[in-house]
């Protein structure tokens, strides 16, 4: 009954709920932007791990933080994109 009443009297969503939703989304993005130093640190550790298994062209290696659309296609989300050219597989990996 209450719900029905609410439904009938409801005009628009409260503006404070809109504010909260928007804030939540913008903060997901804000909080995921790293500092350049942080990115450098992460990059060098990723390379170290990959090097154990693959012979990579380190000069051509490119790791970046960018944006992409989410799976449901409704939002822009951060993404880590890595382009790592491989020279050869290390032997003994099978």
Partner 1 sequence: MGEVIVITSGKGGVGKTTTTANLGVGLALQGKKTVLIDTDIGLRNLDVVMGLENRIVYDLVDVVEGSCRVKQALIKDKRYDGLHLLPAAQTRDKNAVTPEQMEKLCDELKEEFDYVIIDCPAGIEQGFKNAIAGASRAFVVTTPEVSAVRDADRIIGLLEANDIRNPRLIVNRLRPDMVRRGDMMTIDDIIDILAIELIGVIPDDENIIVSTNRGEPAVADAKSAAGLAYRNITRRILGEDVPFVDLTAQENILTKMKKLFGFKPA
Which residues of the shown chain bind partner 1 in the complex (CB under 8 A)? 14-17, 19-20, 22-24, 26-27, 30-31
Q: Please, which residue, 18 or 82, has the CB nearer to partner 1?
A: 18
Q: Which CB, 31 or 52, lies closer to partner 1?
A: 31
Closest contact distance (angstroms) between CB of 14 and partner 1 is 3
Nearer to partner 1 among residue 20 and residue 87 (C-beta): 20
CA distance 56 to 45: 14
Please check whether residue 50 is in contact with residue 56, taking contact to mean a CB–CB distance below 8 angstroms: yes
Provide the 10 A C-beta neighbour count for residue 32: 13
Residues 57 and 86: beta-carbon distance below 8 Å: yes
């Amino acid at each position: 009954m209450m719900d029905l009443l609410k439904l009938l009297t409801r005009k628009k969503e409260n503006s404070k709920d809109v504010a909260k939703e928007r804030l939540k989304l913008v903060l997901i993005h804000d909080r995921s932007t790293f500092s350049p130093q942080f990115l450098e640190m992460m990059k060098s550790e990723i390379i170290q791990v990959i090097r154990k298994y693959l012979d990579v062209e380190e000069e051509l290696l490119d790791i970046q933080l960018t944006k992409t659309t989410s799976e449901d296609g409704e939002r822009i989300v951060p993404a880590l994109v890595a382009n790592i050219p491989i020279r050869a597989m290390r032997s003994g990996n099978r």
